[in-house]
Every structure is written in C-alpha cells, then in structure tokens.
C-alpha cells in the first residue's frame, strides 16, 4: 500500500472511512518510512528493530539490488536475531502472526521458532497458481503445520479477483483478541495480511465497491477490517489498554497500475525504489486515552521504531548487545515530542539516500535497468526526472543530489551544488553517514543462494493432507535479482 492510498493522505476517492476515523482519533504520521522498498527486508526490520543490512535481509549478488524470500531462497531470519515477539514473551505476552511471514520458509525459520505462539498464514506471497511439478503452491499454515495451499485449498480467482482471505485473516484476529481478553492475557498481534499485493484480490462483498477498481476494493476491505478490529477492542473494553499501529511494508507497486497498483500521492516512483514513493508509508497510531485524538506528527519514523516502541510500552528494554536502529516513539506518541534522527534508505547493502530534517541526499540513484525497463517494467510510470530516475546506477557519493522535501516533496528539483544551503545540509548529512558507516557491521547476507530443492514441496503436515510433493535434487545457485 502506498502513502497516497488512504483518504486521510489525500487519495481522491476518499474510500477509507475507518482508517481516516482511526487517524482522527489517534495520530497521523506524515513522515513515516519503511526500512526497505521491498517486503521481506522491510518485515525483517520491523520485527528486529534493525536495518536489513544488519539482520541479513539483503543480497550481495549484485549492486544495490532488492531481494526477498522467494520460494527458492535458501536463507531466512538468522537465529542470532532477536525478534519482537521473543522479547515480549518475557513480559508474558502471547504473540500471534496472521498473514504473510516472509522471513524464510525453511523449518529453522518458522515463526513459532522465533517467538510467535500462533500462526495463521503463509510463509511467502500468494503468487501462483503453480503446477506442483516446477513449483509448489504456497502453503497456508496453522501454527506448526500446513493446512492447505493457495489456489488449491484457499481459492484466489485471478479472473474475477475474488478471494476471501482477508476475511479469514480478520476472523482469526477477532477470535484471537477475544480469547486473550477472556483469559486476561496481554497479547501482540502482528496482522500481516497480504492484500493489497498483486495478484490483487478482495472478498465478494467488496468486489466492485470502489471507484478505484480491484485495488480499491482490496483497500476498502482492509479499511473495513481494521475498523472491525478497532471496534472489537472497544467492545471488549480493552481499547485503552491496546496500542494499535497501522502501516505498510513498502510503497505502492506502480508496475501493477492502474487496476492492481496503488497510489504514492505526490511522491516520486514506487515500490522497489528509494525515492519517497518507494519508502514513505501511510502510518496511524491509535490508543484512546493515551495518544491524544487528532494528532499529526512530522516525526521521522520507521517501521523499526515499532520494535523499540512496543518494547517500551511493554516495560521492556531493547537488547543491549547489538545495534538497534529503531527509536522508542512513546515520547512522540504520548507527549507530542519530536526526536532528531536520520532516515537511511537502503537498496540491498547500498546506502542509496539519507534524510535528515527536510533534506534528503541521494548517494546513488537508480530506478531499474534499461534492460528491465525495455521489458515494460516501470517503477516510475508517467514520471521522469532527468538525472534522478535513472536507468543506470548513478553514483553521487562525492556530490550528493540534494532535495528539500518540504518545498519539493516530489524530488524534482535538486538544489544547486554551489548554494550555501546545499553545502550546509550536505555537510550535516555527510557527518551522519560517516557515523553510520563507521559502526555498521553488516550481517551475513541471507538472500544470495537459491535452490529449487528448498521450495515449499513438503511443509510439515503435508502427509495428513496428502499434499507432500517431491523436491528436486539440491542444486544451489546464486539468486538472480534484476532490480
């Protein structure tokens, strides 16, 4: 989902009454970022509070490439990483993930081995359908075991766009919350639905309800679902005791537009890029009685802050044996403070850009290669800024491209290299970069090796369902990451 997909963020159809209401009752973050313009690294960062370059969710197979846990990827979340649910357990929390995990699908990466107590969802995206010979369909798990596969047992009609998955995920959320409330046990619910990801789907009752086509139908269903979850908390009388945060893992995928792609509002380009459209996210915090209603924050925030903030609100300390990139936003949420901090925009293991205050310095620019672009893959459709949305990897290390995101949120007008404003801002940002790089210890890259043999051929539980498939011989290769 993109920054511009909610009514509260200026989507012209304004079809998200529940999320808009949540913003009106809570705090709207206008400058909130993901840690990567792609799903897996972004989610790994959220759950570890650490940049993908630290937690291993990147590739070194190519320069500045986005990578994720495709089915044949061998790696996943390292055991050495401490995930938010692992830490929350110490404070008695029951942790559940509903939806897409995306931190590795091999047994050692299973979410219940990394702090979650319950799972209903899938390890990968709902790509498919596959033929079960070349490639298995993605499994859907309940806790330790697979209970079926997408397209086979959990239907997605690619022709009509109909699938009831969001409803299943919603019901699971409501049930979990009810159970926790009944047993008076604290809980962490990671509601990681995979709508609005392409292939886009929505439940029957939402199909055709949006002005925006199928993508808009999916947004409406998400909006409705979030509304139901929030109302459920209120009905159960635990809303003043439950911190709720809504955000997205990367900007809208413009390659799927117009019927399957969302909106990044006035920002440049989309998913896969380190322009604002790829990494600035819609974000809403809600906690009645604690976060004042109608707040709007310009705090530079990150999905990694959800790690630190959640720990803080649970009365826990973050681990002290490693670098944590997340900030504790509770002073922002509860006292309206503004914390000074930069935002680092990575693509793979390359620091592409840095934002400090309203200035953003690009050290590398790239949308995608001419070769990919020639195949019709366009991360910036209808947009073209000379020297910025480049199709070759352009280095600006010694003379960064600098934008003022207040005057120029669309990153169209680089500041003059000789202006006083440029010199001062770049000097400041260069200092932050030096500091950042000096202490950076990259993790072991997890997304370099691919092997057909590690795909979801025979997930645990497949025997009971008669759904085990025969894996091919192991043949590890370097993964290919074109973007």
- Site residues for a copy of itself per CB under 8 A: 3-4, 7, 9-14, 28, 30-31, 210-213, 215-216, 257-259, 263, 265-268, 296, 298, 358, 381-385, 404-410, 412-413
DSSP 437: H
Whole-number minimum distance, CB 340 to a copy of itself, in Å? 16
Q: Which is nearer to a copy of itself, 223 or 328 (CB)?
A: 223
Phi-psi region of 348 (alpha: psi -120 to 50; beta: other; left: phi over 0): left
What phi-psi label fits residue 95: left (phi over 0), alpha (psi between -120 and 50 degrees) or beta? beta
CB of 269 to a copy of itself, least distance (A): 10
* Eight-state DSSP code of residue 439: H
Kindly state the smallest distance separating residue 401's Cβ from a copy of itself, in Å.
14
Closer residue to a copy of itself, CB minimum distance, 46 or 385: 385
**CB of residue 406 vs a copy of itself: minimum separation in angstroms?**
3
Nearer to a copy of itself, 27 or 324 (CB): 27
For β-strands 27-33 and 280-286, DSSP reports them as antiparallel
Omega before 129 within 30 of 0, i.e. cis: yes
What is the DSSP secondary structure assignment for residue 157, as one 8-state letter? B
405/449 with CB nearer a copy of itself: 405
Tokens for 27, please give them.
Answer: 């705090």
Name the DSSP class of 51. Answer: -
- Nearest Cα residue to 170 out of 111, 215, 244, 229: 229
Euclidean distance between CA atoms 463 and 465, whole angstroms: 5
| Cα gap 362→370, rounded to integer Å | 20
Shortest CB 433 distance to a copy of itself, Å: 23
List Cβ neighbours of 241 (8 Å cut-off, separation of 6 or more).
Answer: none
Q: Hunting for tokens 């070349």 — which residue is that?
A: 134
Instruction: Answer yes or no: 39 catalytic.
Output: yes
Residue of 63, 102, 232, 483 marked active site: 102
**Whose Cβ is closer to a copy of itself: residue 28's or residue 233's?**
28
**In angstroms, what is the minimal distance from the CB of 218 to a copy of itself?**
13
To the question of whether residue 349 is assigned a binding role by annotation, the answer is no
Of the candidates 165, 316, 190, which has an alpha carbon nearest to the alpha carbon of residue 247? 190
Q: Which helix (H) or strand (E) holds 171?
A: helix 165-182
468 is in an annotated binding site: no
**Closest CB to a copy of itself among residues 34, 181:** 34
Q: What is the CA radius of gyration of the chain?
A: 21
We find the least distance from the C-beta atom of residue 424 to a copy of itself, in angstroms, to be: 16
Q: Smaller CB distance to a copy of itself: residue 89 or 391?
A: 391
CA distance 15 to 8: 10
Strand partners, 73: 450
How deeply is 229 buried, as exposed, middle or buried, from its count of CB atoms within 10 A (0-12, 13-18, 19+)? Answer: buried
- Three-class SS of residue 219? helix
CB 263 within 8 A of CB 302: no
The rounded distance, in Å, linking the Cα atoms of 405 and 352 is 16
In 3D space, the residue among 310, 384, 354, 391 whose CA is nearest the CA of residue 84 turns out to be 310
Find the shortest distance in angstroms from Cβ 157 to a copy of itself. Answer: 19
Q: Quick one: 177 or 268, whose CB is closer to a copy of itself?
A: 268
250 known ligand binder: yes
Annotated binding site for Ca(2+): 39, 249-250
Annotated binding site: 39, 249-250
Residues identified as active-site: 39, 102
């Amino acid at each position: 989902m993109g920054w511009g997909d909610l009514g509260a963020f200026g989507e012209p159809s304004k079809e998200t009454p529940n999320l808009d209401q949540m913003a009106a009752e809570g705090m709207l973050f206008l400058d909130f970022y993901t840690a990567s313009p792609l799903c897996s690294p972004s989610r790994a960062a959220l759950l570890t509070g650490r940049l993908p370059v630290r937690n291993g969710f990147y590739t070194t197979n190519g320069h500045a490439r986005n990578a994720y846990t495709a089915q044949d990827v061998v790696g996943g979340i390292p055991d050495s990483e401490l995930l938010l649910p692992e830490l929350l357990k110490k404070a008695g929390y029951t942790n559940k993930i509903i939806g897409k995990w995306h931190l590795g699908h091999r047994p050692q990466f299973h979410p219940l081995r990394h702090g979650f107590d319950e799972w209903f969802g899938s390890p990968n995206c709902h790509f498919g359908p596959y033929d079960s010979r070349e490639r298995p369909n993605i499994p859907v798990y309940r806790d330790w075991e697979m209970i079926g596969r997408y397209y086979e047992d959990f239907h997605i009609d690619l022709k009509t766009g109909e699938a009831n998955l969001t409803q299943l995920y919603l019901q699971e959320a409501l049930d979990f919350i009810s159970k926790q409330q009944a047993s008076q046990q604290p809980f962490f619910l990671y509601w990681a639905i995979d709508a609005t990801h392409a292939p886009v789907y929505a439940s029957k009752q939402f199909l055709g309800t949006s002005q925006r086509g199928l993508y808009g139908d999916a947004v409406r269903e998400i909006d409705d679902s979030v509304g139901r979850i929030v109302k459920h908390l209120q009905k159960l009388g635990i809303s003043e005791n439950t911190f709720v945060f809504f955000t997205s893992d990367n900007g809208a995928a413009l390659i799927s537009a117009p019927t399957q792609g969302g909106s990044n509002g006035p920002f440049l380009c989309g998913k896969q890029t380190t322009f604002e459209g790829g990494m600035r996210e819609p974000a809403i915090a809600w906690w009645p009685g604690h976060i004042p209603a109608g707040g709007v924050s310009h705090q530079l925030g990150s999905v990694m802050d959800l790690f630190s903030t959640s720990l803080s609100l649970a009365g826990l300390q973050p681990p002290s044996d490693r670098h944590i990139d997340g900030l504790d936003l509770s002073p922002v949420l509860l006292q309206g403070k503004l914390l000074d901090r930069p935002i680092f925009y990575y693509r793979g293991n390359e620091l592409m850009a840095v934002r400090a205050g309203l200035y953003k310095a690009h050290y590398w620019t790239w949308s995608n290669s001419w070769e990919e672009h020639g195949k019709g893959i366009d991360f910036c459709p209808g947009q073209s800024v000379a020297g910025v949305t480049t199709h070759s990897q352009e280095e600006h290390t010694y003379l960064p491209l600098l934008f003022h995101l207040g005057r120029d949120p669309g990153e169209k007008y680089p500041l003059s290299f000789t202006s006083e404003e440029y010199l001062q801002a770049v000097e400041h940002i260069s200092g932050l970069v030096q500091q950042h790089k000096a202490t950076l210890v990259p993790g072991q890259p997890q997304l370099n090796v691919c092997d057909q043999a590690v795909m979801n051929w025979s997930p645990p539980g497949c025997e009971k369902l008669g759904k085990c498939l025969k894996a091919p011989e192991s043949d590890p290769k370097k993964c290919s990451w074109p973007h």
